[in-house]
Amino acid sequence: MNIYQFSPGASPNWQASLMAQLNSYFCLGGETVTRIISLRPSGLILAKKEKAVVSTAEKILKILSFILFPLVLIALAIRYLLYNKFNKDLDRAVFFIPTEITKAEELIIAKNPALVKEAALTVSPLFYSLPKKYQLMKVETP
């Protein structure tokens, strides 16, 4: 596959520029590169062949990015799917506790979801017509 690079004086279109950037990313050196010196509207292209030189540090970084980038993309895709699933489950009735509660009260609520559900179902319907900021929940411990 030919590898193209553009001299600073050449002004390629966005597609050619993107192609050159991708070529630079995937090139690990030692390959023959066609450097485009000049592009003319008439179709005349001035170019020269040269060897691609890439430093060792740059090669190491590129190889690490080849390994890590797909892992990051997979992690982002999994996060996105899990986030969407959780949000679909969360779209049901959610009560936000506007006041601070202690860890002990939080544990009591977590251990007794049936009592919380019963309290939510037996509350007056007027409670749900109030704006969210006025829907207060009081936690009482025995």
Read off the pLDDT of residues 37-59 as tens digits, 9 standing for 90 and up: 777 777 777 788 888 888 999 99
What pLDDT was estimated at residue 92?
A: 63
Residue percentage of the chain with pLDDT more than 70: 87
Distance of alpha carbon 85 from alpha carbon 79, whole angstroms: 10
Cα distances (Å, whole numbers) of residue 9 to 12, 38, 75: 10, 7, 40
Place of tokens 């996060």: 79
Tell me 133's DSSP state: G
Q: What are phi and psi of 34, to 5 degrees?
A: -95, 110
Q: How confident is the model at residue 22 (pLDDT cuts 50, 70, 90)?
A: confident
Residue 40 sits at the vertex; the CA angle it makes with 38 and 44, to the nearest 5 degrees, is 85
Confirm if 17 and 4 have CB atoms less than 8 A apart.
no
Distance of alpha carbon 49 from alpha carbon 5, whole angstroms: 10
| 140 has a pLDDT exceeding 90 | no
Nearest to 142 by CA among 118, 115, 120: 115
